[in-house]
Amino acid sequence: MRTALERLILLGLLLACIGYFCREILIRIRLVRCGTQDDARWDRPWERLIHMTVKVASQTCAMRNRPVVGLLHALVFWGFVLFSVATLNQVIGAFVRDFSLLGHNRLNTLWFIAVDWIALLTMIGVAGLAIRRYLMRPEGLIRPQPLSPPWHSAAVLALIFGLMATYLLGQGVEGLAAGKFFVPGLPFTPVAAGLFSGLEPAAWAGWSRLLWWLHILMVLGFLLLIPQSKHLHLLAGPVNLFFRSRRPLGFLHKSDFDKSEEFGATRLTQLPWKALLDFMSCVDCGRCQDVCPAYQSGKPLSPKAVMMHLRKQLLEEKTTLLRGESPCQPIMAQWVTPEELWACTTCGACMQVCPVMNEHIPTLVELRRAQVMMASAFPVELNPAFRGLETNANPWNIGAHERARWSEGLAVPLMAERGEAEYLWFVGCAGAFDDRGKQSSRALAKILIAAGVDFAILGTEEKCCGDPARRSGNEYVAQMLAEENVAVLSRYRFKRVLTACPHGYHMIKNEYEAFGGRFEVVHHSELIAELLRSGRIKIGDVSKRIVYHDSCYLGRYNGIYQAPRQVLKAVQGGPCMEMPRHGNQSFCCGAGGGRMFMEEGVGERINRLRLAEAEAIGAEQVATACPFCLSMLADASQEREGGTGPQVLDIAQLVAQRMDGSMS
């Protein structure tokens, strides 16, 4: 029990600090609610709650990709949460004599023995994080410059360390003064008490009171600091995990052109509320920029910086927003630059590694939509692609009558002539018009014919799947193409849509449903692997050093990692080589998000960085399962002096070569 004056002071401080904390949190909730509606976030609440609880309690979200740092963070988090029982005992104990939240029993004894360990482990975790942040100084924590004052992180670490230290020291000196410890068998409190054993007994009470007040003031310091710093993620992060997208990674919502005259987002209030919650939840850990191909190749884009800048704008505009008015500044006026916006390849690596599951890509695409459809402000290189998509339904702007010319000399049937087939092969624009893509298409056609697969193509009826338009912000054209393709596909009878392009695979499988099209889609790597397993095609293996490059849209977006590797295992009679970054940690080729049709004028070319990984491990051939990756990596290989880089081929070409010893 504290004195009457101490209790009065404590009560006043508690009311003031808790009142301030609640006020600031409510302001941030109101700011998040300024965004547009997103009703898809409330489905399956119990499943969402379980997912959130498991992720937060296990701290796997922090330990993934950074196991050592994640473990240190987990020690601090677990210690902070579990230590709350001891803190409540100290606060309530100021008003209620001999108070114990768990009672005075064996459980209480075991709990406080555990708390002694928790305090020590938490201090170790804090020390490790401090060494990393202030001595090792990883790039992800110092670039770009954090928007929060640099002392915020130091203050939080110091407060957590101080909480644990003042608890152990306070319990130790209190035990000396009382002649016994709060519970018997404590492992570290007696050690802390030894620091005071040489003092006069009269001094113990004074030290006990001082350490108790220091501990309480540190607890109150958290209430003041958390809402104003990046450590708001302690509260916003779990909420963000609850409201995570249950759609495939990078899924984009359909714009409703009938209900609005403004498209995309020029102002914060035009973004979904979940995007505003993302900004509040950002941990400032730098994981996203560590894997971002734009950032790693020297482009201006840092996904972390985008989140932080938009959070800063949200807080700076809070007075205006809370009055129900529009933000004073458009996002692109100061907070996000065009160079940042158009550097994104939409590879999805940032979203995959984010510990609080922020959704960077949908936010960037909403900004692109406004720039394209409202401001007509986009890279000039996209003009030919947009014109081609509008006039000839392909970004190469080649007439539709040329769509099936790649198949001349092969017995490739048209769906219009047959009306039905087991597989409707959606060839895609690259497979029909790009020179390298056409070679891959011919190779796949040979495989299908040799295996006796029942398939047909749309030919001149096919249009671009819409991915290049959609990811580069031209949503109107993307929707037009999607609706026309759905109408054509719905006229025919087939079991599966076959595509060799992961971008088309993702669009047709995951995003055409919004346009009335539900189709079972198979990627050509899956079908070829199935044909090899069943013996419908037979190939001879070859002892080449082949490395496989994972396409972002095939692997990270849709989880197809094994099928291409199974094909390559058959091709060379054993597992393929792997680059340092492979599987779900693969590095982008640089073509996604419409970047296939834009130039890289800043930093290093992403495709050259990726090819360098293959060269570093001595690969003779690079296998791809995406026509965009094929084109980008083949370009990088040809740019080597004398064209001496590894040969880049689609897996269909590698299989066709082994079937007949030639490639045409």
- pLDDT (tens digit, 9 = 90+) per residue, 104-130? 788 878 888 888 888 888 999 889 988
In the three-class reduction of DSSP (H, G, I as helix; E, B as strand; rest coil), residue 497 is classed as strand
Q: Would you state the pLDDT for residue 234?
A: 87
| Distances, alpha carbon 227 to alpha carbons 163, 224, 425, in Å | 19, 7, 54
Number of residues written out for the chain: 664
272: β partners: 36
Higher pLDDT, 558 or 661: 558
Contact call for residues 628 and 503 (beta carbons, < 8 A) = yes
The domains located in the chain, with CATH, are 4-31+83-228 (no CATH), 268-373 (1.10.1060.10), 385-660 (no CATH)
Q: pTM higher than 0.85 for the full model?
A: yes
Give per-residue pLDDT as tens, 153-204: 788 888 889 988 998 888 888 878 777 766 677 788 888 888 888 788 888 8
pLDDT one-digit tens code per residue, 638-650:
988 776 789 999 9
On the question of pLDDT at 534 being above 60, the answer is: yes
Cis-peptide, bond into residue 144, ω within 30° of zero: yes
Tokens representing residue 254 in the block: 């359909």
> Alpha carbon 282 to chain centroid distance?
11
Q: Which of 254, 477, 475 shows the shortest CA–CA distance to 369?
A: 475
Q: In the predicted model, is pLDDT for residue 662 greater than 50?
A: no
Please tell me the number of Cα atoms within 13 Å of 485 on its side-chain side.
35
Between 501 and 98, the more confident residue is 501
What confidence tier does 101 reach under pLDDT thresholds 50, 70, 90?
A: confident
What are 404-449's pLDDT values in tens digits? Answer: 999 999 999 999 999 999 999 999 999 999 999 999 999 999 999 9
| 418 three-class SS | helix
Which range, 66-75, 220-229, 367-376, is most confident?
A: 367-376
Please provide residue 586's backbone torsions phi and psi, each rounded to the nearest 5 degrees: -60, 155
Angle, helices 273-281 vs 303-316, to 10°: value is 110
Residue 663 has pLDDT above 60, yes or no: no
Place of tokens 């003064």: 177
> Is 314 a residue whose pLDDT tops 60?
yes
- Sorted by sequence, the CB contacts under 8 Å of residue 590 that are 6+ apart come out as 293, 297, 345, 600, 605, 606, 607, 610, 632
Integer Cα distance of 243 and 55 in angstroms: 13
Whether the predicted pLDDT of 140 surpasses 90: no
Residues 6+ apart with CB under 8 A from 248: 506, 510, 557, 558
Q: What is the DSSP string of 502-553?
A: HHHHHIIIIIGGGGT----EEEHHHHHHHHHHHTSS--------EEEPPPTT
Give CA–CA dist 412/459, Å, rounded.
10
Q: What local confidence, expressed as pLDDT, does residue 149 receive?
A: 66
Amino acid identity, position 272: P
Q: Which of 71-85, 263-277, 422-436 has the least mean pLDDT?
A: 71-85
Burial of 296 (0-12, 13-18, 19+ CB in 10 A): middle
pLDDT one-digit tens code per residue, 42-70: 889 999 999 999 999 998 888 887 888 88
Interval 451-466 mean pLDDT:
96
Answer yes or no: are the C-beta atoms of 537 and 531 closer than 8 Å: yes
Quote the tokens at residue 502: 């992961």
Segment 345-371 shows an average pLDDT of 96
Cβ neighbours of residue 245 closer than 8 Å, sequence gap 6 or more: 40, 41, 251, 274, 357, 359
> What's the CA gap between 304 and 309, in Å, rounded?
9
The DSSP bridge partners found for residue 548 are 623
Q: Is the pLDDT of residue 292 over 80?
A: yes
Sheet holding 521-523, edge to edge: 455-457, 420-425, 493-499, 521-523
Ordered strands of the 546-548 beta sheet: 546-548, 621-624, 647-650
What is the structure's pLDDT at 147?
61
β-strands 521-523, 546-548: how paired?
A: unpaired
pLDDT tens for each residue of 474-503: 999 999 999 999 999 999 999 999 999 999
Residue 644 CA to its chain's centroid (Å)? 36
Inter-CA distances, 607 with 431, 565, 598, 604, Å: 20, 21, 13, 9
- For residues 225 and 257, give the distance between their C-alpha atoms in angstroms, rounded to a whole number: 43
pLDDT of residue 664: 38
Question: Does the pLDDT value for residue 229 go beyond 70?
Answer: yes
Supply φ then ψ for residue 394, to 5 degrees: -155, 145
- End-to-end distance of the chain based on CA atoms, in angstroms? 89
